[in-house]
Every structure is written in C-alpha cells, then in structure tokens.
Amino acid sequence: MSKEIKVTCLEVMSHICDSLGEDLDSERCLDIKSHLEQCPDCTNYFKSVQMTIDYYKKYNVNLPPDAHNRLISFLDLDKDE
Amino acid sequence: MDEKKLIEEAKSGNRKALAEIVKKYEQTIYNFSFKICRDPERAENIMQETFYSMVKSLNQFDGNSKLSTWLYRIVANHCLMQARKQKGKHYISLENDEDLYTEKHIADWDSLPYKNTENNELRMILDEAIQKLSPDYRIVFLLRDVEGLSTEETAEVADISIPAVKSRLHRARAFLRKEIDEAFKK
C-alpha cells in the first residue's frame, strides 16, 4: 500500500533528529529519506548535522599528567589501610 | 576481576578495588567533564568531586544500571549545580524552533577546510558554540550523541522524560550546527 505524503524542508529539519538515531524504519523517516534524495538543501543540512555530532565526538582530551595521582590522593586512596 | 565483583569488593571496604574502579573510569569521566565545561581545571575538579561522591555513596548503587551511567549522572548533577551558581550567566533561548532554520541556502560542509578536530581553530569554534548552549541542553546532546547513551539512559541520567530528551536533543543539534555554520562563514 503506497501513501503519498508531502514533506517540506522545515519538516525534514524538524524531524532530522529521529532519522539520525531513532526508529529509522518509521513511515516518517522513510518519507524524510526519500525527500533527502531529492532536496540538495536538506541533504546538506543532514550532512552538516552529522558532521557537527562527529566533530564533538572526535574532540577528546586526555587526563593531564599527574591528574591520576592527584585524584587518588584527593580520595585518600594512596595510603595503606 | 569483573566489574560486578569489583563493586562488591569496593562496597565491602576494599580500597584497592575502589582505586581500580577509579582508574577504570577516570579518563572517561575527565573527558566527559571537559566536554561539558570546556576548561581543563574545572574538568579535573568535577572529576574529583564525582569520584568523591562515588566513594561516599557507592553503597547506594543498586546495580540496576551500568556504573558508567551512574557516574555520568553524578557528573551531570555537579555540572548543573555549578551552572546554577553562575547566576549572571545567560544562555540563548531555544524555545522558538523556527529561529534555528532561517537559512535559504544550506552550505555544503564537504568543501570546508576542517577535516581534523586536532585543528585549534576548529576546536575554538566548537568550544564557543557549545558554551552558548544552556547546560540542560548541553548535557543531553553530549550524553546521547557524543557518549552514545540510549535515549532511555539519557533520560535517566538527566532525570527528564524521553520526549524531553528528544526535544532538547533536536534543538541542541540544530543550534550547534547553526552556530558552527555561522562561524565557518566568518
């Protein structure tokens, strides 16, 4: 059974979060996906949201040198019982 | 020793087990704290406070959720508490969704020079953008998208409903994307 559902760019943008990690097979998401295939602006939007998430995912920091020792000392776990 | 056993040992007063738990999670907790506050000194302070709370209240940990989820919750509480103390600080309201989608033409980010998050200029843009986001939204974005918790786990950690997680996440993503896009155009 096919149902014609029109999706606007604003709707695509409003529901983009669901297509990024939630219930990908929902009717809504399938409509979004088919809209994305035909709309360059929404494709760019979708890509830039994914890149935003990816940037923050990859921006990691290491524990500073000696922070472990400071933490263990702060918690008083450096002394024998 | 597996984690469950380690927790049992730590609960019964084994300090080596406690130190082992700390060592296992310190990097994750420091990194997450940094991602919320974007400041190395404050991140270390939040990490210390988080583990201090863990040591004090480990007996209350019932094992129904992952230990990491429980620790994320402590970090989130510390951060929200700190944010509430900064009374003069104002964040941009994200109540009106449509303000987030005003562009007529959406740029293709494939042509951007930034491919690597080691780039300092990009790091500055990312830091500035996320610091404009209120901590309530920031925590949801970081837990769900960056740390990869499920929507349900995020709701549990942030102590909000699942629809509230989805709504905050959607607005946070749109806001950050817009902020970064504007910074790229400068």
Q: How far is A40 from chain B (nearest CA, A)?
A: 8
Instruction: Tell me the pLDDT tens digit for each residue of B102-136.
Output: 666 788 888 877 778 788 899 999 999 999 999 99
The structure tokens 């943008």 sit at A13
What single-letter amino acid sits at B140?
V
CATH architecture of B3-85: Orthogonal Bundle (1.10)
pLDDT tens profile B68-84: 999 999 999 988 888 77
Residue B136: exposure state from Cβ atoms within 10 A (0-12, 13-18, ≥19): middle
Residue A46 has pLDDT above 90, yes or no: no
ipTM surpassing 0.90:
no
Please, what is the average pLDDT of chain A?
79
pLDDT along chain B (186 residues), means of 10: 90 93 96 92 94 94 90 91 76 71 76 80 93 92 94 93 91 92 86
When the candidates are 1.10.10.10, 1.20.210.10, 3.30.1700.10, 1.10.3480.10, the CATH number that belongs to B97-185 is 1.10.10.10
Q: Is the dihedral of CA B149, B154, B156, B162 positive or negative?
A: negative
More confident residue, B51 or A81: B51
Residue A73 confidence (pLDDT) above 90: yes
**Residues sharing a CB contact under 8 Å with residue B149, sequence separation 6 or more, in sequence order:** B69, B72, B143, B157
Q: Residue A2 above 50 pLDDT?
A: no
Question: In chain A, where are the structural domains located?
Answer: 9-74
Lowest mean pLDDT among A4-13, A63-72, B85-94: A4-13
The whole-number pLDDT of residue B27 equals: 97
Neighboring chain B residues of A46 at a CB cutoff of 8 Å: none
Within chain B, all domains assigned CATH 1.10.10.10 are found at 97-185
Say what the pTM is. 0.86
- Pick the residue of B111, B170, B176, B184 with the most A CBs within 10 A to test the interface with A by mutation: B170
Assess whether pLDDT exceeds 70 at residue A63: yes
Q: Could you tell me if A24 lies within 8 Å of chain B, comparing CB atoms?
A: no
Does the distance separating the beta carbons of A58 and B117 come in below 8 Å?
A: yes
Percentage of residues in chain A with pLDDT exceeding 90? 33
Q: Which residues of A touch B98 (CB under 8 A)?
A: 10
Chain A nearest-CA residue for B43: A63
Facing residue for B22 by CB, picked from A10, A58, A75: A75
Q: A41 contacts in B (CB within 8 Å)?
A: 105-106
User: Which whole number is the average pLDDT over A28-35?
Assistant: 80
Contacts of A72 in chain B (CB under 8 A): 19, 22
